[in-house]
Amino acid sequence: MGESPRVYAMLAGVILFWGLAFAAIRFVTLEGLSWVSLTVLRFTAGSAIFAALLAVKKDARVPLAREDRLPLLALGFLGFTGYHSFLNYGEAMGAPSGSAALIIAVAPAFIVVLAVLRLKEKLSTVRAAGLGIAFTGLAVTVLLHTGRGLQVGLSPAVAAVVPAAVMAAFYTVYGKTYLKKYPPIAYVAYTMFAGTALMLPLALWYGPGTVTEIFRLSPAGWAAFAFLAVFPTVVAYVLWFRVLDRIPASRAAPYIYLSTLIALSAGLLLEEAITASVALGAAMVIGGVYLAQRTGRGGESGKMSVRIPPRGE
The model's pLDDT over 113-165, given as tens digits with 9 standing for 90+, comes to: 887 777 666 778 888 888 889 888 888 888 866 554 455 667 888 899 999 99
C-beta of residue 299 within 8 angstroms of C-beta of residue 126? no
Distance CA 25, CA 226 (A): 11
Mean pLDDT of the chain: 84
Cβ-based neighbour number of residue 205 at 10 Å: 9
In the chain, the percentage of residues whose pLDDT exceeds 70 is: 85
What pLDDT was estimated at residue 24?
A: 96
pLDDT, one tens digit per residue, over 299-308 is: 444 444 444 3
Strand partners, 296: 299
pLDDT, one tens digit per residue, over 38-62 is: 999 999 999 999 999 999 988 888 9
What pLDDT was estimated at residue 110?
A: 85
Please give the backbone phi and psi of residue 244, each rounded to the nearest 5 degrees, phi first. Answer: -70, -20
**Average pLDDT estimate for 260-287:** 86
Structural domain boundaries of the chain? 20-306
**Average pLDDT estimate for 171-187:** 83
Distance CA 258, CA 243 (A): 16
Q: Which residues of 20-58 are buried (b: 16+ CB within 10 A; e: fewer)?
A: bbbbbbbbbbebebbbbbbbbbbbbbbbebbeebbeeee
Count CA atoms within 13 Å of residue 268 on its CB side: 6
Residues contacting 164, CB < 8 A, separation 6+: 82, 83, 84, 86, 87, 90, 103, 104
What pLDDT was estimated at residue 19?
A: 92
Rounded-to-10 torsion of CA 171, 176, 181, 183: 70
Distance of CA 158 to the CA centre of its chain: 15
Q: Which of 309, 308, 304 is CA-nearest to residue 123? A: 304
Distance CA 94, CA 157 (A): 6
What pLDDT was estimated at residue 169?
A: 85
What pLDDT was estimated at residue 245?
A: 67
pLDDT, one tens digit per residue, over 75-109 is: 999 999 999 999 999 999 999 898 899 899 888 78
| 312 or 266: which leads in pLDDT | 266
Q: Determine if residue 83 is left, alpha or beta; phi over 0 gives left, psi from -120 to 50 gives alpha, anything else beta.
A: alpha
**Average pLDDT estimate for 285-305:** 60
What pLDDT was estimated at residue 309?
A: 35
What pLDDT was estimated at residue 232?
A: 94
Cβ-based neighbour number of residue 218 at 10 Å: 12
pLDDT, one tens digit per residue, over 231-260 is: 999 998 788 777 866 776 556 666 777 888
**Average pLDDT estimate for 268-286:** 85
